[in-house]
Amino acid sequence: MNISLITDFPLHLLQNGRSKIDVFFEDEVLYRRDPSNKKFPFSSISLADISTNRSGNNNKISCPNDSKYIVKGTDVEIYSGVVYILSIKRQNFHVELKKTYRETSEKDGMPYSYIVEMYLVHKPDEYNYAHTVIEITFQGKIMSFNPDTGVYNRGLGRKDRLASKMRSILRDEIQKMVIDKTTV
Amino acid sequence: MLLLNRNPKHEISAQARKFQNILISLSGSDVLFGFNPKVIQSLGEDGDYRKLINFYSDSITKTYNLDLKSNFNKLNQKIELSNEQRKVFETFIEFLLSIGISEEKIIVEDSIEEEIIVGRIYHSGTKMISINSFGDIMFSKSGKDKCEDSREFIDFEQFDAESLAYKFLS
């Protein structure tokens, strides 16, 4: 359905020229839809382009119900299902927007390391001011599933033992942010 | 019972004693809530561990192995398990079945990059095991409070079903 035809589309989600906010509040949470019905949904999440909505202080930016609007261009789909609530505080993102993980292994007697960073970035768009992404970098490169670049498959998605360990760590970190879930 | 069928007689006592110790540590937890550890202890005192096995067989639902095996078969059809992954997963699930853990307590899920997740959700948190295609294991615990969180890695070569079950269930 076209966005202009949805009478209950929440106006507070419209960006209306507002700038992004580069800090997160201690009690702030993120909302993320999950249609998978899994008990450990973030243990199997794709580690690139992880979209969420930020709540702001006391849901001033968005609330769980706002996650039901999926805006594609000027068209909107309405989602019905589970929305997970992730705590910012659980990963100290209110203190620092970046978390760094370094793991080392050995191949043919030679030590090597991978460095993965996880960032929380407020990325408002025209119809969703709350839009926030968990951005992952591998050896300094932002992971993305863009098939033209193949960045993920050559990076964090590569099939070696250490990369697999890093993926498990990141999924575990995100899963541990979950503090509740609700249905919209 | 798997323990009795799979092991020669001389191995039964030692293995059953370990099994008894695990279950004593679990009594009072949400896995074996309401069982008195002294009763469990006394069952093995005369060396007849069949009593111990029977105790758990009688205590826990009999449908468990069908449910868990059906989950395993579904996973098998959905993702292609590597030999190492299959070995860890099968051995671990068999061990859980052998001590009578029921499917309703255990969650088995697949992951996007062919990892297997085995998890438990209990009143104050979660425990999760992730097995990757190399057979390496991540054991993760999450509590209501951040300070209760922990994570450890076990390489395929170091995998031991009994000690992993102990961490997972205790």
Residue B6: the pLDDT is: 45
Identify the domain containing residue A70 by its residue range.
Answer: 3-183
Residue in B164, B153, B157 with CA at minimum distance from that of residue B99 = B164
Q: What would the two tokens of residue B50 be? A: 């069949």
**Which residues in chain A have Cβ-Cβ distances shorter than 8 Å to B152?**
none
Would you state the structure tokens that stand for residue B81, as one six-digit string? 């398990």
- In the beta sheet, which residues pair with residue B137? B131, B154
- Which residues of chain A are within 8 Å of residue B121 when distances are taken between CB atoms? 39
- Are A176 and B149 an interchain contact pair (Cβ–Cβ within 8 Å)? yes
- What kind and span of H or E run contains B56? helix B49-59
**CB contacts < 8 Å between A and B, how many?**
65
> Pick the residue with more confidence: A161 or B102?
A161
Cβ within 8 Å of B, A 75-104: 89-90
Whether chain B has a CB inside 8 Å of the CB on A72: the answer is no
- Chain A residue numbers with beta carbons less than 8 Å from the beta carbon of B112 are 44-46
> Residue type at B126?
T
Inter-chain residue contact A40 with B146, CB threshold 8 Å: no
> Distance (Å, rounded) from C-alpha A7 to C-alpha A107?
59
- What pLDDT is attached to residue B80? 80
Interface check A60 vs B, CB under 8 A: no
Which tokens sit at B89?
A: 């997963």
Check: CB of residue B72 under 8 Å from CB of residue B89: yes
Contact A15, A124 (CB under 8 A): yes
Half-sphere exposure of A19 (CA within 13 A, CB side): 3
Distance between CA A85 and CA A34 in Å, rounded?
A: 11
Number of domains in chain A: 1
- Look at residue B114 in the predicted model and tell me its pLDDT: 77
Bigger pLDDT: A164 or B99? Answer: A164
pLDDT tens string for chain B (170 positions)? 344 344 444 455 666 666 667 666 665 554 454 455 665 666 555 555 555 555 554 444 334 455 666 666 777 777 788 999 989 998 998 888 888 776 667 888 887 777 899 999 888 889 999 999 999 999 999 988 888 899 999 999 999 999 999 999 88
Tokens 């695990």, located at residue:
B22
pLDDT in tens, A40-60: 999 888 898 899 999 999 999
Tell how far CA A29 is from the center of its chain: 12
pLDDT > 90 fraction of chain A, expressed in percent and rounded = 71
Write down the pLDDT at residue B7: 46
Structure confidence at residue A122 (pLDDT): 97
**What residues 109-168 of chain A have any CB closer than 8 A to a CB of chain B?**
157, 159, 161, 164-165, 167-168
Residue corresponding to tokens 């068999």: B94
Dmax over CA atoms of chain B, in Å, equals 50
At residue A151, the pLDDT reads 87
Q: Where are the domains of chain B?
A: 2-59, 64-169
Backbone angles phi, psi at A108, to 5 degrees: 50, 40
* ipTM exceeding cut-off 0.90 for this assembly: no
Q: Which residue among B130, B134, B149 sits closest to A43, beta carbon to beta carbon?
A: B130
- CA dist., res. B13 & res. B114, Å (int): 38
Neighbours of A20 (CB within 10 A): 12
pLDDT in tens, A61-103: 999 999 999 988 878 899 999 999 999 998 888 889 999 999 9
Give percent of chain A above pLDDT 70: 99
Mean pLDDT score, A109-128: 95
Please determine, for residue A33, whether its predicted confidence score (pLDDT) is greater than 90: yes
* Other CB atoms within 10 Å distance of the CB of residue A9: 16
Give the largest Cα separation in chain A, rounded.
Answer: 64
Write down the pLDDT at residue A74: 79
- Plot region of B160 (φ>0 → left; ψ -120 to 50 → alpha; else → beta): beta
pLDDT beyond 90 at A183: yes
